[in-house]
Amino acid sequence: MNRREFLQCAAVFAAGASSIPTSWALSNEQSRFLAGQTNYIDRKPLTYFNAAQRAAVTAAAEQVIPATDTPGATDAGVARFIELMVADWFNDAERAMFDAGLADLLARANGDFAALSGKQQLQLLEQLEAEAGDAQWYNLGNVTRVWDSEAPFICQFKELTVLGFMLSEVGGTQFLRENPMGSFNGSLALAEDDSAYAAELPMRMLSAETGL
């Protein structure tokens, strides 16, 4: 166990001692296992994008979900998620669509999207969205499939950004909030600015089977 893992374990055990009733604490083995697991986006080095592509993806993701009074895409490491998903999760056709779209975005930005002003970046993205206007991705209810393989680049990009942010540690704990465990209360007042709970699993995993 290295120093970082040790500290993470200590944090978990400390939390267990202070706030988690022992009757429903995890087994020590599973606590250690989880604490020792690095986050998905930090598990391996990034090798798919070049520097200009990576900078463009980082800047564009921040345009989709900017830091406001809560953290944004950059804070949550969304660009890392996007790079890993494009490299490891997309099929060949989806990857080709993404690569061509990113090349097009860079070409419209004279090779350096990140160097544009924020306003220019937004205009370019809005232009792409206007061009994709009738894509089925925008159809009401087109949210419960695992992935829309017909989605044009800008839609792929937005969806990866949302998944990379909402399902990340930063997004799940500092923008959304974790559902407290311990008991069930089905009648709790929802305050005006309460956020939704972080998802333990994308809802589409349930929906793929049920056709919801």
Question: Residues 89, 103, 104, 107: which binds another protein (CB under 8 A)?
Answer: 89
CB 12 within 8 A of CB 35: yes
Question: Residues 23, 50, 110, 117: which binds another protein (CB under 8 A)?
Answer: 23
Angle at 195 between CA 142 and CA 79, to 5 degrees: 65
Look up residue 28 and give its two tokens: 């020590």
Q: Considering CB under 8 A, how many residues would be counted as binding another protein?
A: 84
Query: In terms of CB distance, is 2 or 51 closer to another protein?
Result: 2
For residue 56, give the DSSP letter. Answer: H
Interaction mask 92-121, another protein, x per CB under 8 A: ------------------------------
Question: Residues 26, 52, 55, 87: which binds another protein (CB under 8 A)?
Answer: 26
CB 118 within 8 A of CB 125: no
Query: In terms of CB distance, is 2 or 187 closer to another protein?
Result: 187
Q: How many Å apart are CA 31 and CA 34, to the nearest integer? A: 5
Tokens 């998802």 — which residue? 199
Interaction between residue 50 and another protein (CB under 8 A): no
Strands (E), 42-131: none
* The one segment of 1-9, 49-57, 100-108, 176-184 that binds another protein by CB under 8 A: 176-184
Interaction between residue 37 and another protein (CB under 8 A): yes
